[in-house]
Amino acid sequence: MNRPPIATGDILDGFVIGERIHRGGMATIWAATHPDAGFPLLMKVPVLSEGVDPAAIVGFEMEQMILPRLSGPHVPRYVAHGDFGTQPYLVMERIPGPSLLPALTRLPLPSGEVAALGARIASALDDLHRQHVVHLDVKPSNLLMRPTGESVLIDFGLSHHDELPDLMGEEFRLPYGTAPYMAPEQVLGHRRDPRSDQFALGVLMYFFLTGRRPFGDPQRLSGLKRRLWRDPVPPRRLRPDCPPWLQEIILRCLEVHPAWRYPTAAHLALALQHPAQVNLTARSEKLRQDPFTTVLRRRFADQEFAIPRAKTPTRHDGDAPILAVAIDLSPEAAPIADTLRTMVARMFITLPGARVACLNVLKQGRITLDQTLDAQGRNIHHQRLVELRNWAIPLELEEGRISFHVLESPDPASAILQYLNANHVDHVVIGARASSLRRSLLGSVSSQVAAQAPCTVTVARSRRLRKASLGEDGGEDSSGSWTVG
């Protein structure tokens, strides 16, 4: 049955639930206490109700993986997290200081205050980047201030960790982020560059200095892409009292190419703290946007302004391939799922460094509106993730070597093929069901994947199903497979 909603006064794994702090579309935030904790706590619980965006569930998974790996004054202290199969939650330190959202009522701010604030945020970003994380959602609501003065970054659901599978990047083709703050390369799908956070900080400083967002608040991808060729109005045109050195810094953060920004967030913080040492260029004196002819050239002709999409990852050597396993979780396919797990376990003997991506396709109707809850009131996407995790438990793989992906599509074969192409998979293992008239006429998912996959494909069938299709007795389960190079 569906789990009851969390309420004030409940006790969950020893944590006493306090007042509800915030309820958003993706998660609810509660105050919490625990007898062993000597500081205030927050509990973050994902929303799993009807209509929730699957990206919210994936983002919560990412935050559960990333936050325990972070430390220092610029992030909230991690305390605990709940089992994803029963009640997922994340408990962390409650930062006593406010976020930057209230500051929006005071805009525009004095230039000195903007520079000081920018330096504190840049220092926090530098600390985060040194821990192998790109935040990718820097904005006022995700920035808190400790009473001691440090800036604190929160909400790592969209973040990228160099040492963890990038679930958001692997599952979703459209960029995720907050539209006004997204860097050009992030719009094009590149999620690995720490300098993307510099761009977001440049947007924030511009906004706090002028009271205007440099690229507006576009709601469509076409509007987001305008920042690739259209430069913002220079801050000094809107704020004549803006010092040239601050405009130099802000416009450098907002450069289209990451290579034209500061090498690191530490360099940016240093520039904001020592304005006399800022090297002034033509950016500092600029009072108008680039002429329309320049914009047209960038938009339609000039290759110089073409930002490549996400870089192709360095190819793995033969001992560390990316291995995808397409798993049918329906009850009738249970023998095949068992066979696939046995095959993957055998592959690890010769490929001990392999990284495994477990895939399942949640088939959607092409026309009809799909339900996101099952008959028991459980979120279907979340339930599939739980089942994938249960399937993988016997493999005993450590975090970072295995990831779980529920792909939503009306065409399972196309969804799997898109994942294989986008994520440079080296080998895919997929099960084949018993023959039927429908599969003979329309073609099976496994045959389509085998015919079109850009990598080696191993197709497995359970002998139990093969015998059943011939009207024979089941007997002991074993497998047969064939591989396409």
Which structural domains are found in the chain, ordered by start?
A: 11-93 (3.30.200.20), 101-305 (1.10.510.10), 322-484 (3.40.50.620)
Instruction: Give the per-residue pLDDT at 140.
Output: 97
Q: Are 302 and 229 in contact (CB under 8 A)?
A: no
Residue partners of 263: CB distance under 8 A and separation at least 6: none
251-302 confidence digits (pLDDT tens): 999 999 999 999 999 999 999 999 999 999 999 999 999 999 888 888 886 4
Residues (pLDDT < 50) of the chain are 1, 302-305, 308-318, 437-442, 465-479
Q: Are 70 and 128 in contact (CB under 8 A)?
A: yes
Instruction: Give the per-residue pLDDT at 2.
Output: 55
Instruction: Give the per-residue pLDDT at 313.
Output: 37
Instruction: Give the per-residue pLDDT at 364.
Output: 81
Instruction: Give the per-residue pLDDT at 353.
Output: 79
Residue partners of 143: CB distance under 8 A and separation at least 6: 99, 100, 121, 124, 151, 152, 153, 154
Instruction: Give the per-residue pLDDT at 137.
Output: 97
